[in-house]
Amino acid sequence: MIVLDANYILRFLVKDNDTMYEIAKEAIKNNNCFIDNEVLAEVVFVLIKVYNISKSDIKDTLVRFLSFENIILHSKPTIIKALELFEEKNIDFVDAILCAKSKKYEIKTFDKKLNKCIKNIKV
Q: What is the mean pLDDT of each run of 10 residues along the chain (123 residues)?
A: 97 97 97 97 97 97 96 94 94 95 94 93 66
Instruction: State the pTM of this model.
Output: 0.91
C-alpha dihedral sign at 123, 93, 79, 101:
negative
Give 73-76's long-range contacts (Cβ < 8 A, gap of 24+). 73/34, 73/35, 73/37, 73/40, 74/36, 74/37
Which pLDDT score is estimated for 122?
A: 62
CA dist 90 and 71 (Å) reads 27
Residue 72 in contact with residue 35, Cβ under 8 Å? yes
Which pLDDT score is estimated for 62?
A: 98
Would you give the DSSP letter of residue 77?
H
